[in-house]
Amino acid sequence: MNTVKNSLKDISRYPSAIAGVIIIFLLVLLSIYAVISIPYDKAITMWRGGEEFWKANPKFAPPAWSNLFTSKKLPESFHVDTADGTMSKVVTSTGDDTSNVTISYSFNFEADDYPQDLIIYFTTTFEQKQPFASVSLFTPTGQEIRVADTGVAQQQTLRFSQESRMVNRYSNVPVMTGMFSDPKDPPHAPLKGTYKLVITGTTFEKDSTFDAEFVFLGQVYGLAGTDMSRRDLMIPLLWGAPVALGFGLLASLGTLILTMIIAAIGAWYGGWVDSLIQRITEINLVLPFLPILIMVGTFFSRSIWIIMGTAVLLNIFTGQIKSYRAIFMQVRESMYIEAARAYGASDLRIIFRYLVPRMIPLLLPGLVSAVPSFVFLEATLAVLGLGDPVLPTWGKVIDDAYTNGALYKGYYYWILEPAVLLMITGLGFSMLGFALDRIFNPKLREM
Amino acid sequence: MATEVQTISAPVKKNGTSTVARVFRYTAVRAITLFITVVIAIYMTILIANMGGYVDQMMRGQVTEQINMAMAANPAYKSMSPDTRKQLAQQQIDLEIERLGLNKPLAVRTANYLINAITLNLGRAQNMVSDTGSKNVKNILLERMPWTLLLLGISELLLFFVSLFLALSLSRQYGSFWDKLVIALTPTSSAPAWFYGIFLILIFAAWIRILPFGGLVSAPPPKTTLLYALSLLQHMILPALSLFLSGLFLNIYSWRTFFLIYSSEDYVDMAKAKGLTGGDIEKRYILRPTLPTIITTFALTLIGVWGGAIVTETIFQWPGLGNMLYKAIGLYDTPVIVGDTIIYAYLLAITVFVLDFVYVLVDPRVKLGEGV
């Protein structure tokens, strides 16, 4: 108990260690939050969901808070639906099974740039006679832009920017620019104020229903922004934390424990077992580490577990095994080992009950310091296109961003968000590991 | 491997054997051990590059599909009867499979790879082609080698000497502001070079726009040699800087700690008491005993250059060996993968072998093949 207390006291003397502990604690909190708020299955479905799932999000949209740092405010995205009551719908029966549906929605537009698109998704039910709808947008000056008059199928999508009437009307500028500009002014800045969307529909059957979802695709979205397939980056950013922590800690723990056990076995038995371990270490020195992982990823499986297993295997027989062996060689000669031998303990019992536990305190700095390298290894493989095909991770976001030219096109948020998280994780663990190393190796302490 | 001088030594009779015999015996045993190590490592690489025959199945499928597609798309074959066409396709498939050596059993093929690799008969690539159109693995490697040597050579050597020099001066003023700063910055080395690369691209290429995003030279390539060299230099700044930065603080820190341990030895205190100057103490009492370690690290740094930097080269589209290896793996090109690995293995083995003799030259306490 006292040693634990002393260690804690020692740790508190290093500001970097405290910072590291705080970072790791926050990461653990973030992971718990991620796993609880978006369960695994849901996260995977959302991450792998296509255009259909994410239709309400703009593409390549920076996070909404980026507006705080720019003078040019970008429009925020939103979507409203008559089905869940966020957009009002008035149905008036006009007899003879026909009824009129009026849907209207007013929104304030105060941004300095144009939206990506406006889309209406109609959902109707009918037996034979299609409902009819006309869509208009009233600008702040009171001008009515008649977007479309159309019969509506059961599922129909109306994209304002692709509507032929709109394309013809604004022949020399993009539709969105034309729509959101003052017609008297040349289109250089959007017209601010309250816009009103009005959909008037007519149904021609008794049980026919008429619903519409209005999607305003702005240029910023949510807390994390979106990627090329409109996915909310919040999912990989949140889920990247448990994946990174899990991968880093498991791989680091696995490597260390296996290394220690093998070193203990070598030191205890000596002879050919020991020299075999030495030879394997030498062979492993020649084997190229990253290329082998790339080969396994390319030829065999990109599953994160297979990659982790390979990385652990290749990491066991390194220089570390020699330093552990040297310590075990000393411990071997201690009195308590001799006592154990005297009472007739078996070899395995000595290795696992007396040799390995002796080393566990020494394990801690190595364990913590090895985590960043594994966290970055996952990201490295993801950047090479060998990330786990299913899991949303930080490395995969960087890969997506990089392959979609985020740096060329100026979508800096896309790379910076996962990169900063990776960097914080790496720094947290290596700051703590570094301090622990100085605490547990008194030789380094004064230096 | 390099510090194993004592453990691998052959048994030596204390009396009667001459120094020459001892050295000769040690040399022979060491050379054979190293050679066996290389052979086993290379065979393992070959097996991994084949995934125990798994890759062969993939390649066979690929060949069949490619030839069938080519036949179906070629109007010249349209008039033939389906049977003749099938026969013709089968013939071509068999021919291609024979060319790739896929008709031989796995054991024979891997053994062939091994013998060819060990004798440095690098052979021909299966799918990869060098920029000049050659399929010789040697040409493919030689084409990429200068660029990797240039990039990695400059950045790694710079890293080595700069960190050594800074560490030496820090160890002199230990506890100072700069010393503390380096210690505080050491955790930044946990990020790999490509990670720094992305930030450097973001700052210098995308944001300030003073350096290129990547590539070897600007397009079209400059005509004169001088302009070409300047353009090359301009493209090299960011990748070299990211390799340099990612290792800098950790290297300085470890060298500094290493020097500090040696400067707390009693003989250094003794030298100080004698009134020797700082420079003298450093040269004679600190640098000299640490020389074997410095040389080992330097030699291993030099070999590390051969491997290239896979991800950094890929991020910067630098046409080096690391980038080539990544592409070769993507094309299932075992001869190129093995060719790249065998050269690395040989370089490593030779260096380790030579280092043993270098230790004797720089450190009079070390004797070849003599147990301590």
Does any domain span residue A55?
A: no
What does the block give as tokens for B230?
Answer: 């300047």
Does any domain span residue A65?
A: no
At residue B1, does pLDDT exceed 50?
no
Distance CA A158, CA A431 (A): 54
Domain end position, chosen among A174, A190, A217:
A217
Taking only residues 57 to 116 of chain B, the set having a beta carbon closer than 8 angstroms to any beta carbon of chain A reads 58
Question: Which residue of chain B has the CA closest to A381?
Answer: B311
Same domain, A27 and A101: no
Same domain, A314 and A197: no
Interface contact flag, A295 B51, Cβ < 8 Å? yes
Q: What's the complex ipTM? A: 0.84
Beta strands, E only, A129-238: 132-138, 144-151, 155-159, 193-203, 209-217
Does any domain span residue A58?
A: no
At residue A328, does pLDDT exceed 90?
no
Does any domain span residue A394?
A: yes
The distance of Cα A298 from the centroid of its chain, to the nearest Å, equals 23
Does any domain span residue A420?
A: yes
Q: Quick check: A74 contacting B, CB < 8 Å?
A: no
Between A and B, how many CB-CB pairs are < 8 A?
126
Same domain, A268 and A409: yes
Closest C-alpha to A288, from B326, B147, B247: B326
Same domain, A159 and A283: no
- β partners of residue A214: A80, A120
Question: Which residue of chain B has the CA closest to A378?
Answer: B192
Same domain, A210 and A239: no
At residue A359, does pLDDT exceed 80?
no
Contact A170, A151 (CB under 8 A): no
Chain B residues whose CB is inside 8 A of the A422 CB are 191, 195
Distance CA B138, CA B130 (A): 10
Interface contact flag, A412 B325, Cβ < 8 Å? no
Same domain, A342 and A378: yes
Does any domain span residue A102?
A: yes
- For position B12, what pLDDT does the model report? 47
Same domain, A350 and A418: yes
**Range of the structural domain that residue A295 is part of:** 2-42+233-445
Contact A431, A20 (CB under 8 A): yes
Domain end position, chosen among A217, A244, A275:
A217
User: Cα distance from B82 to chain A (closest Cα, Å)?
Assistant: 34
The CA distances from residue B118 to A14, A32, B40, B111, B323, in Å, are 52, 52, 11, 10, 24
Does any domain span residue A54?
A: no
Mean pLDDT taken over chain B: 85
User: Cα distance from A264 to chain B (closest Cα, Å)?
Assistant: 18
Chain A residues whose CB is inside 8 A of the B37 CB are 279, 282-283, 286
Read off the pLDDT of each residue in A127-137 and give the average, rounded to a whole number: 88
Please tell me whether residue A117 adopts helix, strand or coil conformation: strand
Burial of A37 (0-12, 13-18, 19+ CB in 10 A): exposed
Domain end position, chosen among A192, A217, A242:
A217
Does any domain span residue A295?
A: yes
The CA distances from residue B343 to B34, B305, B349, in Å, are 14, 12, 10
Same domain, A26 and A84: no
Distance CA A238, CA A223 (A): 11
Same domain, A250 and A334: yes
Residue-wise pLDDT for A374-429, tens only, equals: 999 999 999 988 888 888 999 999 999 998 988 888 899 999 999 999 999 999 99
Q: Quick check: B287 contacting A, CB < 8 Å?
A: no
Same domain, A284 and A171: no
Q: How many domains does chain A have?
A: 2
Chain B residues whose CB is inside 8 A of the A284 CB are 41
Same domain, A29 and A79: no
Chain B residues whose CB is inside 8 A of the A298 CB are 329-330, 332
At residue B307, does pLDDT exceed 80?
no
- For position A323, what pLDDT does the model report? 84
Residue-wise pLDDT for B199-224, tens only, equals: 999 999 999 989 999 889 888 889 99
Question: Helices in chain B by DSSP H: which ranges?
Answer: 19-50, 54-73, 82-99, 106-118, 137-172, 177-185, 193-200, 225-263, 266-274, 278-280, 288-307, 310-315, 321-330, 334-362
Interface contact flag, B205 A407, Cβ < 8 Å? yes
Query: What CATH number should be reported for the domain holding residue A138?
Result: 2.60.120
Query: What CATH number should be reported for the domain holding residue A382?
Result: 1.10.3720
- Would you say how long chain B is, in residues? 372
Same domain, A23 and A121: no
At residue A291, does pLDDT exceed 50?
yes
